[in-house]
Amino acid sequence: MRTFYRAPKLVIWDYDGTLAPTREQIVPSFRAAFFYALGVDLSDEEILSWFGPTDEAVIRHHVPQDRYQDAQRIFYETYRGLEAKATLYPGLREFIDRTRPQVRHALVTNKGRMTTEIALRGQNLRQLLAMVITGDDVTEPKPHPMGIQRILRKLEIGAQEAVFIGDSPTDIEAAHRAGVAAIAVAYGGIHSADVLAEHSPSLLIENPAQIANWFDALC
């Protein structure tokens, strides 16, 4: 576990549950795709248990090949239509914009490239990020550290000068394996603070406003 003595030079973010509450966007999108392809109305818990790979990989794994393209189309159409439900958590966009003179911001997500671009355009966030790595850009998604390591190399920033912010044990593990400090956020509603604490993050956050407070205290 790393202790913070000064503000990092690089903040790497997860997206779903960290920057935006996307459950009410992602779950109905998968449900619509699976209902078309499988003829069953899956529960939230069943759909959430399949999270991890990219959106397209989840669909490809669970639906017949001859229905894959239509299921994928239905997923994206539903996802775009629900983008308004995924507004960034209060204060986070302002925090990123305000701190850019002092720190670079990047994104590592297991989301696919298509849904990531929909989200970043919809939230007017892309231009604030120095680099974006999606699940389609790596051969090993989180908890593998590949995405984080690629950003560190490209931006020429040492692991000891970076922090990864995410809402899951997978995010914490990826940060640990990359050698960067891990900030776990419990406000996403998927993993409790107790569960996240078991994975030894450097800092546990329970309210989005605490991120700005933490950073400002180090400056």
List Cβ neighbours of 142 (8 Å cut-off, separation of 6 or more). Answer: 14, 108, 110, 166, 170, 171, 173, 174
pLDDT tens readout for residues 188-203:
888 899 999 999 999 9
Global model pTM greater than 0.85: yes
Same domain, 196 and 116: yes
Compute CA 219 distance to the chain's CA centroid, rounded to the nearest angstrom.
Answer: 26
**Residue 14 and residue 31 in one domain:** no
User: What's the token pair of residue 141?
Assistant: 């998604």
In which domain, by residue range, is 109 found? 10-21+88-218
Domain boundary pick from 31, 50, 84: 84
Q: What is the pLDDT of residues 60-78, one digit of tens each?
A: 999 999 999 999 999 999 9
Cα–Cα distances in angstroms (integers) from residue 163 to residues 35, 121, 158, 180, in the given order: 39, 24, 10, 5
**How far apart are the C-alpha atoms of 12 and 113, rounded to whole Å?**
17
CATH code, domain carrying 159: 3.40.50.1000
